[in-house]
Structure 1
Amino acid sequence: MSTSSTASVSTHILDTSIGRPAPGVPVSLSARGGAGWTELGTSATDTDGRCKDLPALPEGTTHVRLGFDTEAYLSAHRDSGAFFPEVTVTFAVVPGEHYHVPLLLNPFGYSVYRGS
């Protein structure tokens, strides 16, 4: 385990209906502190479906939220539009740990997990 006083977060999105990364999806990163949720920054997935520039978490962060704005991506790739226009994933973190949280997305469902 690292001795860092902060946790770190990364993510990527895979469109499981076509077996390919989902590029161009806006992603926001928020942390919960004493006054509620604070948005730390935003990014968008690259051609490999990854966000490589999410901001660092503030020291002492214990709860994190990733927001995925999936509507434009799903609407552009599906005749039926977006059943899930956004996906929000909230999870607990421990200082010194890295959390990779992939989103597996398809037109009518999604799943997330803690990756490596």
Structure 2
Amino acid sequence: MITTHVLDTALGQPGAGIKVQLSLLDTDNWVDVTQGTTNQDGRIPGWLDGKTLLAGTYRIRFELQDYLLSQQQPVFYPYAEIVFVVADPAAHFHIPLLLSPFGYSTYRGS
């Protein structure tokens, strides 16, 4: 299972309304797996419902520009991409994004 959430560390609130796309690398091409929009808690419930997770290299792309503009923050990073490897498809991979206008970070959460 892959889950994610966004926290706006500059404003101290969840990043709501952010479009997020999950893709799987197939040779040299990214193949869309699913997409969604973060809710008021900065999460996407049921993001992978009914989908089978495979071993491989994944990318989560967060579309940040519209969110930052809606919060009246400057746009330095219009999007952020996090690429990671799933070796064990039965494991839980929680990939959060901590966001501010001039930086972002991530980690493997639980």
TM over 0.5: yes
Question: Aligned partners of 1:107 and 1:113: how far apart in 2?
Answer: 18
Q: Which residue of 2 aligns with 1:25?
A: 18
How far apart are residue 57 of structure 1 and its match? 4.4
Question: Where in structure 1 are there 5+ consecutive unaligned residues?
Answer: 1-7
Question: Aligned partners of 1:47 and 1:90: how far apart in 2?
Answer: 25
Q: Which residue of 2 aligns with 1:40?
A: 33
Q: Find the residue that maps to 2:5 and give its secondary structure.
A: strand
Q: Which residue of 2 aligns with 1:96?
A: 90
How far apart are residue 33 of structure 1 and its match? 2.2
Give the TM-score normalised by the residue count of structure 2.
0.89
Say whether residues 1:113 and 2:107 are aligned partners. Answer: yes
Question: Aligned partners of 1:51 and 1:99: how far apart in 2?
Answer: 14
How far apart are residue 99 of structure 1 and its match? 0.3
Question: Aligned partners of 2:17 and 2:97: how far apart in 1?
Answer: 14
Question: Aligned partners of 2:52 and 2:13: how far apart in 1?
Answer: 29
Q: Which residue of 2 aligns with 1:53?
A: 46
Q: Find the residue that maps to 1:51 and give its secondary structure.
A: coil
Question: Aligned partners of 1:89 and 1:54: how far apart in 2?
Answer: 17
Runs of 4 or more above 6 Å deviation: none
Identity of aligned residues (%): 37
For 2:104, give the aligned amino acid: Y
Give the TM-score normalised by the residue count of structure 1.
0.85
Q: Write out per-residue CA displacement over residues 22-49 of structure 1, whole angstroms, 9 at most, x where no aligned residue.
A: 1000000101124621011210000000
- Cα RMSD (Å): 1.4
How far apart are residue 53 of structure 1 and its match? 2.6
